[in-house]
């Protein structure tokens, strides 16, 4: 690494690493808002739907407050210099998501669906488990660089996680996507959500070691730098296998996500713009190829191009068509600028998946353009804090991991929100924290935990005043 | 590594920006069209979220709203009720949770639900004071007594038919009846019973097609009633200048370009008859020849002045009546006695009678007098509007004179009312292949009070397939109904 790119601590004004204040009290103050806003929202839904403050308000408020408090104390104790915004932002989204899920639980229309479960209590349980996982990450992951040791184990586990849903008897095909596994007693789990993190660890570990070789030992071909096969080979294989598995599972969103994450990390590691060009070319070829061959994808593209036709076909009772996208668009449109207000919309008309894949439509209808913009900005802020963490991190592994995770997070938000708003074809992932789903909540809390850990390391005051500013070069990092 | 990181940061920023732009497009630019898309269920939910405003006749609502049962998945809170539904259905149309809305219910939906922009102030006030949104009212021009006389007359007659009554000086619609009719209450909700009731009313299951608004949407050959238009054309074009001038009409009269004689009904004095006598006895030869002599263009021009060839919006749309162009002389002759291609809605023929009664001035027919907000403030008022002048006042006087002769001592004596001058014209329209089906019985008329004002003009049509063919005549079947309707209006004036 050249020294000119190796001095974030000196030339960046983003997060000063040396002598940074811990900002824990800022975090606490923000957390108060992050808990109070959903509590008000909860009361609001209750008043709108049944003219009374919901009976569970106190326990809900206390529960959310307690969870946030525990998370905060864990950060205070185990990551005192961590970024102060990540936890409150995640808490706010999670809290608002819970309110939206509870609000949809009240819908008679959704209650009449055959697979209806009251989702809010479960989501609260998942949130508790997610925050527990978050705390566990903070306690046991003392230094994120430890993860480097598990580069190849990560690779292996990512593949296993991805293959699990294909194992007969374990996998469950739900509505055309084979991305769940059944765990007796626990319900279904979506291993892809966890694979995202594990794969980021593998990419970061591998790329950190091989990045010089990838960047320098390459041949020029048509103006692009092509690395040697033995450098790129393994990572390409892993990536290709994951994409293949996901295509077999018809989980398009996740394959797009993995691909994007891979390209981003490769680009950051090698600093070669050619990767972006490659990535775009390959994704274009891949997307067109898959879209023209795979029927599930094909129908989604058609639905995206003409949601009204899709709506009409589904109303005529033709199988394989869904009116959901059109319903979501109507929900957004009916919300307008200021929205109908909590509990006063009709986004339950989306029916199935209204509280998971399509949860954003509920926000769109009931909070309007203003609410959606606020939520998108909150996501933007989380990503921004993640990228800052990457900038501030003093080790390339941390940088790569942080950018991989926050890039994947940004892509996921884009793919899901873009899909629900009809910007791109629907791919069937969930809005992090907002949507109902155990795997998603758990994995995203773990993701925030890792980002907080990296930011803590990055912002921690240098241990000795005499330490070299070129600290990164002197760190002992054993490339496994 | 920081340079690519910053670029990735910009990339992520662009992703969020793209989403923000898309959201603005969706929730700001396209919001209204998505919100008001009739397929968007929210439109229906909003329509029935509050009691609808009422449609009012003579100060009394003919509609109402009732809360639907909350059981099951019903997301529509209120449903429409109708008082005397079958009688008023051609006026109100229907508003059904399951089957949408038509006519006034659909056209004035914004006022009735309270969503209309003209109610903005009221709506905002309600929002601030925390009151539920309330719909406004639609006050119609109809006359309940006239409507009852019309509907009861049709019902007593059986068969099928329609009545339209207008106030000639303004164009106000006083009666608008169609028979057989339907009760819009029977399918106002969205239960299985409503669906069954709806299904039963469809033409497929009920050949009488009770949901057809015969007063506005069905055209019939007007038969001899059209002779009034032909007489008007003769006067306006100066072919004859008085009612009592002898016409140059041989008997028998062979239609130009053919060897076919135009026949009269029965042995009536039509040879060189005056127009008065010809109208009194309904001479086909006289009016056929007048039309043929004037030619297609002049006849069409006069018919158009009476409103033929264009749709009328009352505001409920009425089908355009037909007088063809590009006809040869014999076809024009047939058309001029209301046969061949000529077809008219009952509204159209009421307009003809009304223009004659109003001294040649045709007023635009309308049925919505005012729109009110929920607290009865006037939001909009329809002002009478002149549509055209098919007749000069002088010629209108001549035609009135002729039409009064018809009622006094001609085919229309059944329409006489004590103490009131009544002008009218009967019609018995042949139809079907080779005139094989039972003819339609027509009667158009107007009443004139002693002060010279004319409060009402009526058109009645009866299509009775079960009646004995020989019994069917405009004077016999239709004139008594017209008389009752006119009497109802006149009595109210006294």
The pLDDT of B282-310, averaged and rounded, is: 92
ipTM confidence: 0.89
Question: Helix, strand or coil for residue A405?
Answer: helix
Q: Where are the alpha helices (DSSP H) in A150-190?
A: 151-163
Residue window 304-333, chain A: list those with CB within 8 Å of chain B: 308, 311, 329-330, 332-333
Count, residues in chain B: 494
Nearest to B23 among A12, A372, A380 (CB): A372
A161 or A371: which leads in pLDDT: A371
Helix and strand element counts for chain B (H, E)? 18, 20
Distance CA B447, CA B151 (A): 19
Mutate to test the interface with B, among A6, A111, A333, A412 (most CBs of B within 10 A): A333
Chain A CB contacts of B39 under 8 Å are 308, 311
pLDDT above 90 covers what percent of chain B?
53
Count of positions (residues) in chain A? 480
Whether B197 and B187 have beta carbons less than 8 Å apart is answered as yes
DSSP state of B133: P
Average pLDDT, chain A: 84
Cis amide linkage into residue B384, ω under 30° from 0:
no
- Of the candidates B110, B101, B64, the residue with the CA atom closest to the CA atom of residue B379: B110
- Alpha-carbon torsion angle B6, B8, B9, B15, nearest 10: 150
**A383 interfacial to chain B (CB closer than 8 Å):** yes
The answer, for B28 touching chain A at a CB cutoff of 8 Å, is yes
Residue A401 pLDDT > 90: yes
- What is the DSSP-derived secondary structure letter of residue A6? S
What percent of chain B has a predicted confidence (pLDDT) above 70? 96
Q: Are A138 and A144 a contacting pair, CB within 8 Å?
A: no
Alpha carbon distance A211, B103 (integer Å): 73
Nearest CA in chain A to B31: A333
Q: Which of A465, A435, A419, A343 lies closest to A101, judged by CA?
A: A435
Q: What is the dihedral of CA B31, B34, B35, B41, to 10 degrees?
A: -150
Catalytic residue list contains B374: no
Residue B438 structure tokens: 């039972």
Contact with chain B for residue A461, Cβ under 8 A? no
Which range, of A185-189, A283-287, B3-7, B136-140, averages the lowest pLDDT?
A185-189
C-alpha to C-alpha distances, B411 to B194, B268, B315, B408, nearest whole angstrom? 46, 12, 34, 9
DSSP B60-124: EESEEEEEPP--TT----EEEEETTHHHHHHHH--EETTTEE-HHHHHTHHHHHT--GGGHHHHH
Contact between residue B143 and residue B458 where contact means Cβ atoms under 8 Å apart: no
Task: Please give the residue of chain A at the shortest CA–CA distance from B38.
Answer: A330
Per-residue confidence (pLDDT) for residue A2, from 0 to 100: 42
With a cut of 90, say whether residue A239 has pLDDT above it: no
* Coil, strand or helix at A334: helix
Angle B431-B432-B437 from CA coordinates, rounded to 5°: 85
Q: β-pairing, B78-82 with B95-96?
A: unpaired
A177: left (phi > 0), else alpha (psi -120 to 50), else beta?
A: beta
pLDDT band at B357 (very low <50, low <70, confident <90, very high): very high
Closest chain B residue by Cα to residue A406: B12
Using the structure block, give the residue that is written with the tokens 């800022």.
Answer: A26
Of the candidates B24, B33, B73, the beta carbon closest to that of A112 is on B73
Considering only CB atoms, B28 lies closest to which of A8, A337, A387, namely A337
Instruction: State residue A342's pLDDT score.
Output: 92
Nearest to A137 by CA among A444, A378, A398: A444
- Report helix, strand and coil shares of chain B as percent, to nearest 5: 45, 20, 35
Residue B34 to residue A334, Cβ atoms within 8 A: yes
Alpha helix ranges (H) inside A118-190: 119-140, 151-163
pLDDT mean over A138-157:
90
Check A421 against B19: CB less than 8 A apart. Answer: yes
Helices (H), A51-85: 57-78
Q: Enter the DSSP assignment of A320.
A: T
Residues 267-286 (A) with a CB less than 8 A from some CB of B: 267-269, 271
Tell me the two tokens of residue A469.
């500013």
B70 close to A (CB below 8 A): no
**Tokens 């996921």 label which residue?**
A412
Cα-Cα-Cα-Cα torsion B263, B264, B270, B274, nearest 10 degrees, comes to: -110
Confidence band (pLDDT; 50, 70, 90) for B431? Answer: low
Q: What is the DSSP string of B157-192?
A: H-SEEEEEEEETTTTEEEEEEEES---GGGGSS-SH
Across the strands, what pairs with B162?
B178, B461
Q: Reduced to 3 states, what is the DSSP secondary structure of residue A304?
A: helix
Whole-angstrom CA distances from B463 to A53, B214, B436, B481 are 64, 11, 14, 14
Cα–Cα distance, B292 to B286 (Å, whole number): 10
Q: What is the CB neighbour count within 10 angstroms for residue A170?
A: 15
| Cα gap B427→B443, rounded to integer Å | 6
Q: Which of A1, A268, A337 is closest, CB to CB, to B8?
A: A268
For the record, the structure tokens of A300 come out as 């989604």
Select the residue of B24, B35, B73 nearest A334 (Cβ to Cβ): B35
**pLDDT, tens only, A92-121:** 999 999 999 999 998 888 888 887 888 889
B3 at interface of A, judged by CB pairs closer than 8 A = yes
* Cα–Cα distance measured from residue B289 to residue B285, given in angstroms and rounded to the nearest whole number: 6
CB contact under 8 Å between A335 and B31, yes or no, is yes
Q: How many whole angstroms separate alpha carbon B128 and alpha carbon B134?
A: 14
Helix (H) / strand (E) containing A265:
helix A252-270
The first and second tokens of residue B122, run together, are 């009221």
State the pLDDT at residue A379: 97
Q: Which residues contact A381 (CB under 8 A, 6 or more apart)?
A: A85, A89
Query: Which of these ranges, A277-286, A403-412, B48-57, B281-290, has the smallest mean pLDDT?
Result: A277-286
Is A346 part of the contact surface with chain B (CB cutoff 8 Å)? Answer: yes
- Determine contact: A13 vs chain B, CB below 8 A: no
Count CB atoms within 10 A of the CB of residue B151: 25
Distance in Å, alpha carbon of B5 to nearest chain A alpha carbon: 6
Q: What is the pLDDT of residues B177-216, one digit of tens each?
A: 998 999 999 999 888 888 999 999 998 888 888 999 999 9
Q: What is the pLDDT of residue A177?
A: 60
**Cβ–Cβ under 8 Å, residues B160 and B218:** no
| Beta carbons of B442 and B427 less than 8 angstroms apart | yes
Residue among B16, B26, B39 whose CB faces A376 most closely:
B16
Chain B: nearest CA to A210, how far in angstroms?
A: 14
Highest mean pLDDT among A287-301, A427-441, B4-18: B4-18
pLDDT surpassing 90 at residue B383: yes
- Cβ-defined contact of B27 to A332 (cutoff 8 Å): yes
User: Which distant-in-sequence residues (6+ apart) come within 8 Å of A242 by Cβ?
Assistant: A158, A159, A162, A195, A199, A255, A258
A49 has a chain B CB within 8 A of its CB: no
Which of B:441-470 have CB within 8 Å of A? none
Per-residue pLDDT, A44: 92
Beta bridge partners of B262: B253
Q: Are B86 and B211 in contact (CB under 8 A)?
A: no
Asked whether the predicted pLDDT for residue A452 surpasses 80, the reply is yes
Q: Which of A112, A334, A376 sits opposite B40 (nearest CB)?
A: A334
Interface test with A, best of B16, B37, B38, B190 (most A CBs within 10 A): B16
Quote the CA–CA distance of A430 and A440 in Å, as a whole number.
7
- DSSP string covering A353-367, please? TTTTTTHHHHHHHHH
pLDDT (0 to 100) of residue A186: 58
Residue in A411, A387, A417, A419 with CA at minimum distance from that of residue A401: A387
Nearest chain B residue to A396 by CA distance is B1
Alpha carbon of A381: minimum distance to chain B alpha carbons (Å): 10
Shortest Cα distance, chain B CAs vs residue A263, angstroms: 11
> What is the reported pLDDT for A282?
76
| A51-55, A195-199, A446-450, B122-126: least confident range | B122-126
> Residue A464: which pLDDT band, with cuts at 50, 70 and 90?
low
Asked if residue B116 lies in contact with residue B110, where contact means CB atoms within 8 angstroms, the answer is yes
Q: Point out the catalytic residue in the list B178, B224, B445, B454.
A: B224
Nearest residue to B194 (alpha-carbon basis) of B317, B62, B100, B267: B100
Six-digit token pair at A202? Answer: 């593998």
C-alpha B15/C-alpha B7 separation (Å) is 12
Q: How far is CA B193 from the centre of its chain?
A: 30
Look at residue A17 in the predicted model and tell me its pLDDT.
Answer: 47
Residue B71 sits at the chain A interface (C-beta within 8 Å)? no
Per-residue pLDDT tens over the stretch A9-37: 444 444 544 556 788 999 999 999 999 99
The most confident of the ranges A453-462, B69-78, B394-403 is B394-403
Handedness of CA B323, B324, B330, B334 (dihedral sign): negative
Q: What are B96's strand-pairing partners?
A: B100
Give chain B positions within 8 Å (CB) of A267: 4, 7-8
Confidence of residue A416 (pLDDT cuts 50, 70, 90): very high
Which residue is closest to B41 within chain A, CA to CA? A349
First to last CA, chain A: 19
């Amino acid at each position: 690494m050249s020294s000119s790119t190796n001095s974030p601590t000196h030339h960046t004004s983003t997060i000063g690493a040396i002598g940074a204040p811990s900002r824990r009290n800022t975090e606490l103050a923000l957390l108060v808002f992050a808990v109070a806003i959903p509590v008000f929202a909860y009361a609001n839904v209750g008043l709108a739907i049944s003219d009374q403050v919901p009976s569970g308000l106190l326990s809900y408020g206390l529960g959310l407050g307690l969870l946030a408090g525990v998370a905060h104390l864990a950060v205070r104790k185990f990551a005192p210099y961590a970024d102060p915004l990540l936890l409150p932002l995640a808490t706010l989204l999670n809290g608002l998501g819970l309110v939206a899920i509870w609000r949809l639980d009240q819908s008679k229309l959704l209650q009449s669906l055959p697979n209806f479960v009251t989702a809010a209590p479960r989501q609260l349980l998942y949130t508790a488990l997610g925050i527990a996982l978050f705390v566990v990450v903070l306690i046991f992951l003392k230094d994120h660089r430890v993860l480097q040791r598990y580069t190849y184990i990560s690779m292996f586990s990512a593949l296993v996680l991805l293959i699990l849903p294909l194992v007969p008897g374990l996998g469950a095909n739900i509505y055309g996507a084979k991305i769940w596994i059944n765990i007796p007693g626990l319900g279904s789990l979506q291993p892809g959500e966890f694979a995202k993190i594990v794969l980021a660890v593998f990419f970061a570990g591998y790329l950190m070691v091989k990045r010089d070789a990838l960047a320098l030992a390459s041949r020029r071909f048509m103006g692009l730098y092509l690395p040697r096969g033995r450098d790129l080979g393994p990572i390409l294989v892993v990536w290709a296998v994951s994409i293949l598995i996901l295509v077999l599972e018809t989980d398009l969103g996740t394959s797009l996500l993995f691909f994007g994450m891979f390209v981003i990390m490769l680009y950051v590691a090698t600093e070669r713009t050619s990767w972006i060009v490659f990535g775009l070319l390959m994704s274009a070829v891949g997307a067109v190829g898959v879209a023209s061959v795979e029927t599930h994808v094909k129908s989604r593209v058609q639905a995206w191009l003409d949601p009204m036709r899709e709506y009409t076909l589904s109303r005529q009772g033709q199988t394989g068509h869904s009116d959901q996208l059109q319903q979501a668009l109507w929900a957004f449109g009916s919300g307008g600028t200021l929205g109908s207000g909590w509990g006063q919309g009709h986004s339950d008309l989306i029916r199935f998946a209204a509280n998971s894949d399509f949860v954003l439509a509920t926000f769109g209808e009931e909070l309007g353009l203003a609410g959606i913009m606020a939520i998108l900005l909150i996501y933007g802020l989380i990503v921004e804090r993640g990228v800052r963490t990457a900038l501030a991190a003093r080790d390339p592994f941390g940088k790569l991991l942080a950018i991989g995770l926050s890039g994947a997070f940004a892509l996921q938000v884009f793919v899901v929100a873009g899909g629900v708003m009809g910007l791109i074809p629907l791919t069937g992932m969930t809005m992090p924290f907002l949507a109902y789903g155990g795997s998603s909540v758990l994995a995203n809390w773990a993701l925030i935990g890792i980002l907080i850990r990296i930011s803590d390391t990055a912002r921690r005051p240098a241990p000795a005043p005499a330490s070299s500013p070129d600290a990164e070069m002197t760190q002992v990092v054993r490339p496994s | 590594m920081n340079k690519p990181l910053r670029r990735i940061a910009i990339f992520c920023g662009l992703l969020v920006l793209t989403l923000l732009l898309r959201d603005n497009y969706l929730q700001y630019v396209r919001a209204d069209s998505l919100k008001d898309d009739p397929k968007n269920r929210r439109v229906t939910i909003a329509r029935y979220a509050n009691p609808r405003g009422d449609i009012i006749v003579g100060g009394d609502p003919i509609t109402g709203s009732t809360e639907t049962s909350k059981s099951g998945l019903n997301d529509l809170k209120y449903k429409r009720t109708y008082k005397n539904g079958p009688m008023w259905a051609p006026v109100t149309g229907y508003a059904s949770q399951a089957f949408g809305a038509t006519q006034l219910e659909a056209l004035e939906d914004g006022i009735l639900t309270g969503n209309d922009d003209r109610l903005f102030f009221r709506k905002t006030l309600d929002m601030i004071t925390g009151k539920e949104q309330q719909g406004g009212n639609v006050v119609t021009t109809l006359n309940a007594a006239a409507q009852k006389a019309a509907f009861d007359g049709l019902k007593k007659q059986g068969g099928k038919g329609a009545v339209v009554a207008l106030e000639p000086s303004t164009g106000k619609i006083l009666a608008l009846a169609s028979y057989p009719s339907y009760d819009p209450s029977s399918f106002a909700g969205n239960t299985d019973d409503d669906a069954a009731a709806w299904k039963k009313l469809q033409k497929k299951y009920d050949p009488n097609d009770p949901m057809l608004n015969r007063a506005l949407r069905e055209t019939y050959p007007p038969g001899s009633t059209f002779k009034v238009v032909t007489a008007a054309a003769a006067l306006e074009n100066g072919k004859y200048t008085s009612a009592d001038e002898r016409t140059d009409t041989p008997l028998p009269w062979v239609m130009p370009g053919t060897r076919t004689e135009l026949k009269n009904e029965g042995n009536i004095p039509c040879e060189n008859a005056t127009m008065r006598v010809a109208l009194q006895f309904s001479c086909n030869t006289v009016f056929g020849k007048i039309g043929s002599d004037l030619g297609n263009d002049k006849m069409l021009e006069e018919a158009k002045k009476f409103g033929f060839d264009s749709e009328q919006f009352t505001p409920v749309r009425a089908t355009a009546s037909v007088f063809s162009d590009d006809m040869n002389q014999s076809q024009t002759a047939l058309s001029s006695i209301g046969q061949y291609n000529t077809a008219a809605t009952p509204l159209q023929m009421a307009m003809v009678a009304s223009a004659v009664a109003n001294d040649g001035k045709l007023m635009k027919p309308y049925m919505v007098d005012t729109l009110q907000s929920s607290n009865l403030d006037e939001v909009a008022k329809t002002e009478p509007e002149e549509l055209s002048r098919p007749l000069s006042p002088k010629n209108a006087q001549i035609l009135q004179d002729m039409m009064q002769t018809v009622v006094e001592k001609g085919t229309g004596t059944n329409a006489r009312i004590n103490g009131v001058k009544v002008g009218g014209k009967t019609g018995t329209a042949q139809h079907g292949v080779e005139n094989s089906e039972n003819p339609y019985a027509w009667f158009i008329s107007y009443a004139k009070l002693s002060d010279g004002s004319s409060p009402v003009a009526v058109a009645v049509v009866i299509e009775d397939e079960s009646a004995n063919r020989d019994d069917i005549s405009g004077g016999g079947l239709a004139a008594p109904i017209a008389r009752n309707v006119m009497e109802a209006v006149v009595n109210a004036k006294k």
